[in-house]
Amino acid sequence: MNESEHNLAASFFRGSDLEAREASILQELEAGLHFSPTELLGRSNWWGSDMIGAFRYLGEFEGKQAVLKVQGVKPDVSEAAMLRSFASSNRSALVRPPKLYASIPWSDEKRYEALLVEYINGSKLISSPTTAEEVERFFEIYEEYRQNCLESPWLPKPTESLAERTAQDFKDWKQVAKEQYPEHPHREAGDEELIQESLATLVRAYANEDWVFQHAHISADDVFIQEDQAILTSNLMWAWRAPFFDAVFAYHWQPYVLGNHYEAVTPELIEAQKQLWLSAIWRLPQNDRQRRQLNLALLERQTAGLLLDSLTVDVTKPIAKHLVQSTREEVRNLLSVIGEDTPKAGV
């Protein structure tokens, strides 16, 4: 792993006692940053676990609204540094990060990193469920970001290969799944074999692919529209990833978010929403190589979904079974398509 990027699985294994310390940390930061909290905005946990890795408060700083973000596990790279690097490298007039007001770096004594950022009073671009118009706008912003936000990567390229990193990622996620979901009612006997077949396909294919610098967490929750600008959040997650990883991340997570948080969700709605995203995604590649790269990116995400992400949907919800089944079917379909596109030996 590139030590200059944040790794969620590694953070999960390191653990966090942030929940027990939240009140004392908040009191300390009120004095140290001259921040007056008014409202808890949220706490972040990992893959359905009870471990709180971060929390966010709305409040006031120097006469303006601001958001306090506290990270309770030592980050591999500072989010404040990511924000500064993004801002200084950015050439887009449309896409930008939130403004950084102040920060406190990680220390082993305090065991947290804190930063104060601009309060975004705009709205999320993507609603739940979304519309064709919103998805279309999402990918217009995506194209702008690809053209004008990535020209000067500020993190070093990993020394390991993309294939090696892919294998390690799945090893880590398998361990998380084992700890968080040792028994799951919607797993099937053949899932492990299917995941291993997919992983072998990815490792072979990624032996011939190179890393691409990108924002690795552009989900439906991470693009806000404010005063005709698009603001990208989750900036801790800038990293080197496989081609088109950033193009499929929102598509991958949106069904699971709907499954957990939208009461009127049905299998028909899930599949219709997925088609909205796919119809826009498949306009991105310009040639056969890019189409294959996109299929590989989809396969990597859906295999991760079958292994872990789809299991995060509350099993008491009727839609949970469909989401696992749909993910499983997509893995099978993508393996078939990629297999048909793979040149045979001697051809």
pLDDT in tens, 109-145: 888 889 999 999 999 999 999 999 999 999 999 999 9
Hey, what amino acid is at 66?
Answer: A
Residue 342 confidence (pLDDT): 65
Residue 10 confidence (pLDDT): 46
Rounded Cα–Cα distance for residues 49 and 150 (Å): 33
Token pair of 266 as six digits:
């049905």
Residue 50 confidence (pLDDT): 58
How is residue 236 annotated by DSSP?
Answer: G
Model confidence at 5: pLDDT above 70? no
Helices 162-180 and 288-307, interaxial angle, to 10°? 20
> Cβ contacts of residue 89 below 8 Å, gap of 6+?
149, 151, 152, 154
- Superfamily of domain 8-119 in CATH is Phosphorylase Kinase; domain 1 (3.30.200.20)
Residue 72 confidence (pLDDT): 80
Which position has the higher pLDDT, 268 or 236? 268
How is residue 247 annotated by DSSP?
Answer: H
Model confidence at 285: pLDDT above 90? yes
- Which residue intervals of the chain bear CATH 3.30.200.20? 8-119
Helices 319-341 and 245-261, interaxial angle, to 10°? 160
Q: Is the pTM of this model over 0.75?
A: yes
Average pLDDT, the chain: 91
| Whether CATH 3.40.50.300 fits 125-341 | no
Rounded Cα–Cα distance for residues 127 and 141 (Å): 16
Residue 229 confidence (pLDDT): 97
Dump pLDDT digits (tens) for 150-186.
Answer: 999 999 999 999 999 999 999 999 999 999 999 999 9
User: Contact at 8 Å (CB) between 226 and 120?
Assistant: yes
Token pair of 44 as six digits:
């972040």
Band of pLDDT at residue 77, cut at 50, 70 and 90: confident
Band of pLDDT at residue 344, cut at 50, 70 and 90: very low
> Which of 8-17, 54-63, 289-298 is predicted with the least confidence, judged by mean pLDDT?
8-17
Dump pLDDT digits (tens) for 20-75.
Answer: 788 888 999 999 999 999 999 988 765 455 566 788 999 999 999 999 999 887 77
- Which residue intervals of the chain bear CATH 3.90.1200.10? 125-341
Distance of CA 335 to the CA centre of its chain: 23
